[in-house]
Chain A
Amino acid sequence: MVKFAKILALSAVAALFASPLFHSSKALASGSAEPLLEVSWSHRGPLGTFDRASLQRGLQVYREVCSGCHGLRFIAFRNLLEIGLKEAEAKVIAAEYTTMDGPNDEGEMYERPGKLSDYMPSPFDNEKAARASNNGAFPPDLSLMAKARIGGENYIYSLLLGYEEEAPEGVTLAEGMSYNRFFPGHQIAMGPPIDDEAVEYADGTVPTKEQIAKDVSAFLMWTAEPALEQRKRMGVKVILFLVVLTIVLYGVKRKVWADLH
């Protein structure tokens, strides 16, 4: 038992090393004092899986609301099969976009409908073009947004719902800016993007703004970490294996050392 206690102490030190530093560095980096809104996500926890229906609704929200300004450059149309779209459905979506391809045998560039192997086209040709049409602001690519902000998908969800019609007293907003409780500095160039019934869901889900925010946040978690399910499934197997192996090794160790006692 003494040995177990020592191993426990050892792990505790390892954890100690990690946890306080982690929390401090996180807390420090967050600009907004307001705690994020909490939602329950099916993909959280060691056995969590994505809610396919929600991801597909999120895709719809992205395409109908976000994609006007925000790109998704690391997602190819073929990836949409992973969230449960049929190949034919993904092909239809891909074909709705036109892509520049070429050069062909005559040396000309040409436009053609998107294919499964194409990546989601970005809405602007470059950052300058994006800023020119967005009051000087640059709408970031959303592929990794759920990992690039403290709070992850909870941050995206909170941000989408954190708009106030009027800035609190004493706060003056610059021209064209909106007030958001969760945005660092509270002044955000993006206007409130969603409202109740901003989209119409084909599966009959009621499109409240909370529902819309949740679906698109879950979708963006998937775009940021598409291997999440595979990772967790493998993690469970690996840890179970290691636990059994370690118990066996402990037994062997006891047996080998027994002749010294």
Chain B
Amino acid sequence: MSGHSSFQTNNPVLKWIEYRLPIFGFINDSLVVYPTPKNLNYWWNMGSLAGMMLVLQIITGVVLAMHYTPHADLAFASTEHIMRDVNYGWMLRYMHANGGSMFFIVVYIHIFRGMYYGSYKAPRELLWWLGIIIFILMMATAFMGYVLPWGQMSFWGATVITNLFSAIPIVGEAIVTWLWGGFAVDQPTLNRFYSLHYLLPFVIFAVVFIHLWALHVHKSNNPLGIDIKGPQDTIPFHPYYTVKDLYGMGIFGIIFAWLLFFAPNLLGEPDNYIPANPLVTPTHIVPEWYFLPFYAILRAIPDKLFGVIAMFASLFILFALPWLDTSKVRSARFRPVYKMLFWAFFINCFVLGYIGAKPPEGIFLVVGRLSTALYFLFFLVLPFIGWFERPKKLPESIATAVLESSGDDGGGGGGAPDGAAAKAEDRG
């Protein structure tokens, strides 16, 4: 499948183009005949959903940018102008604001799926790294986007988060001043955040492209976590996964539409409908929900510098995951100990999220510290699990496993392999 393109045509125009720029072959190889494990379950829908959300965010964002004014005196009013006077402006803005949340939900599930099925392991370490880079870029983009309406939470969120850099010894204060473009969050800050908020999605887009490039070298992992051994293990991406992804998009679209049309402010903070006021600090400064676990880690540490280090470490430690996990077996399905550990980690992330929304005092502080310790403990314990854990017996191949347990977990991928394999060959 690799090397020479499988694309054949008799159309002279297409031939002419293909000879000079093999774009049809590229599309054919990566979206049509692209061999995909036949046993992917619905957790593998998240990648295409995330891609769809990125495109949707860019489209709505570009249109919003046509009506928005990045000025400290006008930003709030221009946002209301969008909500009130621009045709379907309310829909665009709600779609963009809630789209951010939906994007994060999908990406979080995507990351947890990768962790559960060991998708980060060799030879997919760089694929995993690129994913984390996308995640970090998303966080930066979302943070700066939240500042743009210039409400109270925009302003104070920006103040709190940028102030984190002041914890850096010696140069901290200078860095913060440099970030702000002044001595407080103000017009220069808003203006540059606007610029970067427009830029970063395209950087994300580029990294997504590289993410897919890396993905298409060794193909998707699968719920069994075993390698593709031959054509009998795969089916062509089209039509099998195109239609499955479209179906997933339908389900996702219903949830998204419900949020967008019936509860558009559910995930937002009421304080952000109050114009930014540098003289009035909100009682509780809370970041957007998708930052809460990291916010909890930040506040669990009594020292500011170490809090910031812990917060960034909680993110960057994900880069080390492929080497911290010493087990040769990928999928948690065959790793009884890791499976329990994974679910403990998963639940702990929710606990951290809950704590992140609470004031750091009393029982919340105690639980927050405990949860933070557990978060890092997961990564410390992981190497040892790989050494003493006795994994269950792995199936011979994807094809034989699918044959044995038809409909068990394949998400429709169960059943006889022969027809599919033959079909794949026809197309290939």
- CB nearest to A234 among chain B residues: B261
- On whether the beta carbons of A238 and B243 are closer than 8 Å, the reply is no
A120 to chain B, nearest CB (A): 13
Within 8 A of B (CB), among A219-243: 224, 226-227, 230-232, 234-236, 238-239, 242-243
- On whether the beta carbons of B289 and A10 are closer than 8 Å, the reply is no
Question: In this assembly, does A132 line the interface, its C-beta being within 8 Å of a C-beta of chain B?
Answer: no
Beyond A74-B84, A260-B413, whether A18 also contacts B266 by CB under 8 A is yes
- Inter-chain contacts of A31 with B (CB < 8 A): 283
- On whether the beta carbons of B266 and A231 are closer than 8 Å, the reply is no
- On whether the beta carbons of A29 and B284 are closer than 8 Å, the reply is yes
Beyond A22-B266, A238-B257, whether A74 also contacts B80 by CB under 8 A is yes
Question: In this assembly, does A28 line the interface, its C-beta being within 8 Å of a C-beta of chain B?
Answer: yes
Interface string of A243-261 (1 = CB under 8 A from B): 1011001101110110111
- On whether the beta carbons of B246 and A249 are closer than 8 Å, the reply is yes
- Name the one of B94, B239, B259, B411 contacting A256, with C-beta atoms under 8 angstroms: B239
Within 8 A of A (CB), among B257-312: 257-262, 264-267, 269-271, 273-274, 282-284, 286, 289, 292
B interface: dominant SS:
helix
A interface: dominant SS:
helix
- Inter-chain contacts of A24 with B (CB < 8 A): 354, 357-358
- Inter-chain contacts of B42 with A (CB < 8 A): 3, 6-7, 10
- Inter-chain contacts of B358 with A (CB < 8 A): 24, 28
Beyond A6-B41, A231-B91, whether A29 also contacts B271 by CB under 8 A is yes
- Inter-chain contacts of A88 with B (CB < 8 A): none
Question: In this assembly, does B127 line the interface, its C-beta being within 8 Å of a C-beta of chain A?
Answer: no
B349 to chain A, nearest CB (A): 10
- On whether the beta carbons of B254 and A149 are closer than 8 Å, the reply is no
Question: In this assembly, does B196 line the interface, its C-beta being within 8 Å of a C-beta of chain A?
Answer: no
- On whether the beta carbons of B286 and A28 are closer than 8 Å, the reply is yes
Question: In this assembly, does A150 line the interface, its C-beta being within 8 Å of a C-beta of chain B?
Answer: yes
Stretch of B29-37, B66-74, B157-165, B414-422 with 4 or more beta carbons under 8 angstroms from chain A:
B414-422
Question: In this assembly, does B83 line the interface, its C-beta being within 8 Å of a C-beta of chain A?
Answer: yes
Beyond A231-B264, A253-B412, A261-B415, whether A243 also contacts B254 by CB under 8 A is yes
A48 to chain B, nearest CB (A): 10
- Name the one of B244, B254, B261 contacting A232, with C-beta atoms under 8 angstroms: B261
Beyond A25-B289, A29-B283, whether A239 also contacts B38 by CB under 8 A is no
- On whether the beta carbons of A250 and B247 are closer than 8 Å, the reply is yes
Beyond A3-B412, A148-B274, A235-B257, whether A11 also contacts B419 by CB under 8 A is no
Instruction: Tell me the complex Cα distance, A234–B282, Å.
Output: 34
- Name the one of A21, A147, A253 contacting B354, with C-beta atoms under 8 angstroms: A21
- Name the one of A14, A29, A231, A243 contacting B90, with C-beta atoms under 8 angstroms: A231
- CB nearest to B292 among chain A residues: A21
Question: In this assembly, does B105 line the interface, its C-beta being within 8 Å of a C-beta of chain A?
Answer: yes
- On whether the beta carbons of A234 and B91 are closer than 8 Å, the reply is yes
- On whether the beta carbons of A22 and B267 are closer than 8 Å, the reply is yes
Instruction: Tell me the complex Cα distance, A67–B254, Å.
Output: 42
Instruction: Tell me the complex Cα distance, A15–B199, Å.
Output: 31
Question: In this assembly, does A184 line the interface, its C-beta being within 8 Å of a C-beta of chain B?
Answer: yes
- Inter-chain contacts of A25 with B (CB < 8 A): 269, 286, 289, 292, 357
- Inter-chain contacts of B250 with A (CB < 8 A): 242, 245-246, 249-250
B321 to chain A, nearest CB (A): 21
- Inter-chain contacts of B262 with A (CB < 8 A): 46, 232, 235
Beyond A28-B284, A246-B254, whether A224 also contacts B267 by CB under 8 A is no
Question: In this assembly, does A100 line the interface, its C-beta being within 8 Å of a C-beta of chain B?
Answer: no
Question: In this assembly, does A144 line the interface, its C-beta being within 8 Å of a C-beta of chain B?
Answer: yes
Question: In this assembly, does B217 line the interface, its C-beta being within 8 Å of a C-beta of chain A?
Answer: no
- Inter-chain contacts of A253 with B (CB < 8 A): 243-244, 246-247, 412
- On whether the beta carbons of B261 and A3 are closer than 8 Å, the reply is no
- Name the one of B258, B292, B350 contacting A239, with C-beta atoms under 8 angstroms: B258
Considering residues A13, A17, A31, which has the most beta carbons from chain B within 10 angstroms of its beta carbon? Answer: A17
Instruction: Tell me the complex Cα distance, A140–B423, Å.
Output: 68
B72 to chain A, nearest CB (A): 16
- CB nearest to A1 among chain B residues: B407
- Number of A residues, CB within 8 Å of B: 56
- Name the one of A17, A28, A149, A231 contacting B270, with C-beta atoms under 8 angstroms: A149
- CB nearest to B265 among chain A residues: A147
Question: In this assembly, does B183 line the interface, its C-beta being within 8 Å of a C-beta of chain A?
Answer: no
Instruction: Tell me the complex Cα distance, A256–B253, Å.
Output: 22
- CB nearest to A254 among chain B residues: B412
- On whether the beta carbons of A249 and B247 are closer than 8 Å, the reply is yes
Question: In this assembly, does B109 line the interface, its C-beta being within 8 Å of a C-beta of chain A?
Answer: yes
Instruction: Tell me the complex Cα distance, A147–B94, Å.
Output: 14
- Inter-chain contacts of A46 with B (CB < 8 A): 262
Beyond A14-B255, A17-B108, A226-B84, whether A257 also contacts B240 by CB under 8 A is yes
Chain B residues at the A interface, C-beta cutoff of 8 Å = 38, 41-43, 77, 80, 83-84, 90-91, 94, 101, 105, 108-109, 235, 239-240, 243-244, 246-247, 250-251, 253-255, 257-262, 264-267, 269-271, 273-274, 282-284, 286, 289, 292, 350, 353-354, 357-359, 406-408, 411-417, 419-420, 423
> Lowest 3 A-B CB distances belong to which pairs?
A235-B261, A246-B250, A261-B415
Given contacts A7-B251, A253-B412, 8 further A-B contacts (CB under 8 A): A2-B411, A16-B350, A18-B101, A20-B350, A21-B354, A224-B273, A227-B83, A259-B423
Chain A residues at the B interface, C-beta cutoff of 8 Å = 2-3, 6-7, 10-11, 13-14, 16-18, 20-22, 24-25, 28-29, 31, 46, 74, 79, 140, 143-144, 147-150, 152, 184, 224, 226-227, 230-232, 234-236, 238-239, 242-243, 245-246, 249-250, 252-254, 256-257, 259-261
A selection of 16 A-B contacts at a CB cut-off of 8 Å is: A2-B407, A14-B109, A17-B289, A21-B292, A29-B270, A31-B283, A144-B80, A147-B265, A148-B271, A184-B283, A234-B91, A238-B261, A245-B250, A250-B250, A257-B413, A261-B414
